[in-house]
Amino acid sequence: MLEIKDLHVYYGAIHAVKGINVKVPKGKIITLVGANGAGKTTTLSCVAGLVKSKRGHVIYKGKDITNLSPHVINMQKIALVPEGRRIFPNLTVYENLMMGAYKRKDKEGIKEDLEWIFSLFPRLKERTNQLGGTLSGGEQQMLAISRALMSRPELIMMDEPSLGLAPVLVEEVFDVIKKINAEGTTVLLVEQNAVGALSISDFGYVLETGNIVLEGTGKELLENEDVKKAYLGI
């Protein structure tokens, strides 16, 4: 579904992503793991059109979308759940969700998706009219994921969805990612929580300073000695 080919991204003189190659097959969960500064967020931002690449290609369903505008990329049914949630604090939960659906005209479909989201996150239903900024960190993360889902994406990219959450909420977020995937949505996940992410992933890539240093199935990477030492604390 998505192929990143020889991608190079610079921030001024800093070479942040150094010619990486990533494949995201339809219907799978693919994870990028690595420490801070490895180039994970930059890679997602480049696919989403928020950061421009110097060299390389982003191919989505056979079409070159490299360096297109973010709104054009979003129209290809690609959604990004950004790091730090980035919800609208002065809008209600319902209004935040509707922002995710702002380009849709199918009222019945929007209503169905709302019900589905409320089944995934019952707490959001309880807080429909509450301002986003008054939600807890975990609830804001649920809202950020749900807002992206309201655009009915075929590919959803999530940047550190478990960051800063209590362990019980981390488990809930990973369970929801599996449910979203089971419904047919392809997932590209960026995570520092390597154990949680690789446990639910079909395939993963390990990034270090802009390079892919390891790749394999989630199970293979979890069992890899280098990954255990560097990311799993084993």
| pLDDT tens, per residue, the chain with 234 residues | 999 999 999 999 999 999 999 999 999 999 999 888 889 999 999 999 999 999 999 999 999 999 999 999 988 999 999 887 889 899 999 999 999 888 878 888 899 999 999 998 999 999 999 999 899 888 898 999 999 999 999 999 999 998 888 888 888 889 999 999 999 999 999 988 888 899 999 999 999 999 999 999 999 999 988 888 777 655
Q: What integer pLDDT is reported at residue 227 of this predicted model?
A: 82
- Whole-angstrom Cα distance, residue 150 to residue 144? 10
Secondary-structure class of domain 1-77+190-234 per CATH: alpha beta
Beta pairing, strands 211-216 & 203-208: antiparallel
Helix pair 167-182, 137-149: axis angle to 10 deg: 10
Q: What integer pLDDT is reported at residue 233 of this predicted model?
A: 59
Q: What integer pLDDT is reported at residue 53 of this predicted model?
A: 95
Beta pairing, strands 63-64 & 55-60: antiparallel
Q: Which distant-in-sequence residues (6+ apart) come within 8 Å of 78 by Cβ?
A: 47, 48, 60, 153, 154, 155, 156, 157
Q: What integer pLDDT is reported at residue 169 of this predicted model?
A: 86
User: Following CA atoms 143, 148, 149, 154 in sequence, which dihedral angle do they give, to the nearest 10 degrees?
Assistant: -160
- Whole-angstrom Cα distance, residue 206 to residue 193? 12
Q: What integer pLDDT is reported at residue 84 of this predicted model?
A: 78
User: Is the sign of the CA dihedral 36, 48, 79, 32 positive or negative?
Assistant: negative
Q: pTM for the whole thing?
A: 0.91
3-state DSSP helix/strand/coil percent for the chain, to nearest 5? 40, 25, 35
